[in-house]
Amino acid sequence: MPRINDSENTREITLRRWRVIEAEARDGTRTCHVWGHDVSHNLGRASTSIMEFDLDTMTATTISGSNYKLVGLPGNSRLGKHAWINWCNKHGVVAEVDITDEYLNVNQISTVEFVKINIAASHLDEQ
């Protein structure tokens, strides 16, 4: 059985292969949460609702006061997904939508700037 943890007994958590989800409770309340693989403890973790997010440090601060440092690119941690499912069952989540791209859209990340190279036809003829 995979190790999971959906509680927040640790204040500083580093997650990899993470996702951000907007969840809706039975009463219609909507909250945002992060889940993923807790690298320090090698287990899945799901957060309470996110109160603040710092894009520069990629850190989500939750209502409980925990800080989730999101490392690497978003992903789909099997352990994190299990923790999220448990969290949803425990807290009466009736609907969810993945909003990870609102926090980090990998399609907008560019590590290299491309420069158009114009090679003169005469230069090609010399080869």
- pLDDT of 111: 52
- pLDDT of 122: 47
Any bridge partners for residue 31, and if so which?
23
Distance CA 60, CA 49 (A): 9
Amino acid found at 25: A
Phi first, then psi, for residue 57 (nearest 5°) are -100, -5
Model confidence at 1: pLDDT above 90 = no
Give this prediction's pTM: 0.76
Tens-digit pLDDT profile for residues 54-83: 999 999 999 999 999 999 999 999 999 999
Distance CA 65, CA 42 (A): 21
Model confidence at 3: pLDDT above 80 = no
**Ranges 21-25, 108-112, 116-120, most confident:** 21-25
* Mean pLDDT across 70-98: 96
Structurally, the chain folds into a number of domains equal to 1
Mapped onto helix, strand or coil, the DSSP state of residue 123 is: helix
Mapped onto helix, strand or coil, the DSSP state of residue 14 is: strand
Model confidence at 46: pLDDT above 50 = yes
- The residue segments making up the domain with residue 38 are 4-125
pLDDT category of residue 90 using cuts at 50, 70 and 90: very high
- pLDDT of 103: 86
Phi first, then psi, for residue 74 (nearest 5°) are -55, 155
pLDDT category of residue 105 using cuts at 50, 70 and 90: confident
Task: Using alpha carbons, list the distances in angstroms from residue 20 to 70, 103, 124.
Answer: 10, 8, 50
Instruction: Write out the H or E segment, with its range, that includes residue 21.
Output: strand 12-25
